[in-house]
A = this chain, B = another copy of it.
């Protein structure tokens, strides 16, 4: 916890609990990375991430503008947010959202070490589907050279969350306005086999009934 991650607004919704923060980062499919471009202007890019200890790994093409910009020790901010519900109050003022969100500040560095890069690849693939890394074909030397990995050391982090129904002003409970929560959830449909498949391969167990949060 530092001045930047000090929870000023509605501190009862906030947490610096490491387990809470890690669980949100693990469940969130993607994150949003903020950094300054060469001219110092803010840029936000969505990307897949993987958490390993105190490090968040990002990856992409060696042509990725973001990775090339931040790989040299840039300060970055990463946000991972899961929306859980739309909170409909009787007054607009008390409308809200149920969500779980992590904001973290860190320093980025290019990963050069082959062993660390390989561990990061595995973590990123397994962030999407645990078990996939051992199953699909691993990178060739050429593919490895075409892929860039950046490590973000997590210097500061905090989580915020809201749960439950609306909280209206006492007088407003008499209004003719429906109030409650519309639950929001990411759902994963029936896997669609590649129509270009030439060799029948059964769906692996780790993709059957895919969902996050159980990871």
User: Contact between B192 and A181 (Cβ–Cβ < 8 Å)?
Assistant: yes
Copy number of this protein in the oligomer?
A: 2
* A81 lies within 8 A of chain B by Cβ: yes
CB contact under 8 A between A93 and B191, given known A77-B42, A81-B46: no
User: Contact between A185 and B186 (Cβ–Cβ < 8 Å)?
Assistant: yes
CB contact under 8 A between A45 and B103, given known A125-B95, A177-B136: yes
* A130 lies within 8 A of chain B by Cβ: no
User: Contact between B193 and A105 (Cβ–Cβ < 8 Å)?
Assistant: no
Contact of A173 among B61, B140, B199 (CB under 8 A): B199
Whole-angstrom distance from the CB of A85 to the nearest CB of chain B? 8
* Cβ contacts under 8 Å, A97 to chain B: 30, 48
Ordered by A's residue number, 5 sampled pairs between the chains whose C-beta atoms are within 8 Å are A4-B37, A42-B75, A46-B79, A93-B146, A165-B196
Name 20 extra pairs, CB < 8 A, besides A91-B138, A166-B194, A187-B187.
A4-B37, A8-B63, A9-B64, A9-B65, A32-B32, A34-B44, A36-B36, A41-B77, A44-B78, A44-B79, A45-B103, A86-B210, A91-B137, A91-B143, A92-B121, A93-B147, A95-B128, A137-B177, A177-B201, A180-B191
